[in-house]
Amino acid sequence: MIRNSRFRSKFRCFADAVSAPVPVLISVICAATFSSMCFVTQSDAVMCGTEAGKGCVIKFALRDAVELSNIQFSTSYVSADGELDGSGRSVACASAVGGALAAFRDKEDLRLVESAIIRVGTFAGPREISACCFTYGLQPPLAGNFSITVTDAGRPSAVPGEVEEVFPRPRMRISAIECPGSLPDGLSTTTTTTTSTTNSSTSTTFVSTSTTLAVAGRCGFPQSDGDKPLASDALFVLQAGVKLRSCAVCICDMDGNGTVAASDALATLRASVGLPTDFLCPLCE
């Protein structure tokens, strides 16, 4: 578990009302405001490890040179000797993408951690995008002890009203294992400008799909139609929250307060990794 009790106090912004574990909260802060009020006042690191001398940080990175606005992936640590710090929704993971929303869930019974990251703009690989704390047993972990599967990835289309899903899925890798190590603060001051790229500029292809609601009246699913939302659904809600696109409150107002905001996107993102989430959208008329 995260043991640095000063961690929250090092950040100031207007997102304190969002109920989320610390790694999620610090990712919400910038995305929820996009203002000069969002900054890091100090840079104390959050050190990993529940047992002295055995804490490591596992860093996850995009391997491919691709521009994304959302990615969702699962990581198996069945072969690793040890455990992730924290558990369930309180797993000690954090985004390394500035201005992003992130959600993480550790399925301890399966030794699998699910991660989802979205950003209104874009973030480009190759680059580090997240990290998790890990406490090892007899031997420090190796990159080969972890298996990563990307389940969803996309970026906004240059065509208004459309979204591009990335195929083939971008590749991920373990970029570093540092023992001892600390989590990224998730509040990078570096900004990424959204730019248009053509399919011919990279080997990754994009498949455009309409942003018309897939299932009319289905709360939390503006894009997909599965058992649970995807990161792309959360991205749609986030873009609606900052007025980049429109979405009916009966689809995107997850907390049912009458407006679509970053907190609704966070709720959708949490649902995408299987965390308990209330779907409180008002009924569609």
Tens-place pLDDT, residues 115-149: 999 988 889 999 999 999 999 999 999 999 999 99
The answer, yes or no, to whether residue 93 has pLDDT greater than 60, is: yes
Give the Cα separation of 114 and 130 in Å (integer): 12
Cut 0.75: pTM above it: no
pLDDT at 244 over 50: yes
AA identity, residue 77:
Y
Break the chain down into helix, strand, coil percent, rounded to 5: 15, 30, 50
The pLDDT score that the predictor gives to residue 111 is 97
**CA 85 to centroid of chain Cα atoms:** 18
Model confidence at 282, in pLDDT bands (50, 70, 90)? very high
Average pLDDT over residues 52-61: 94
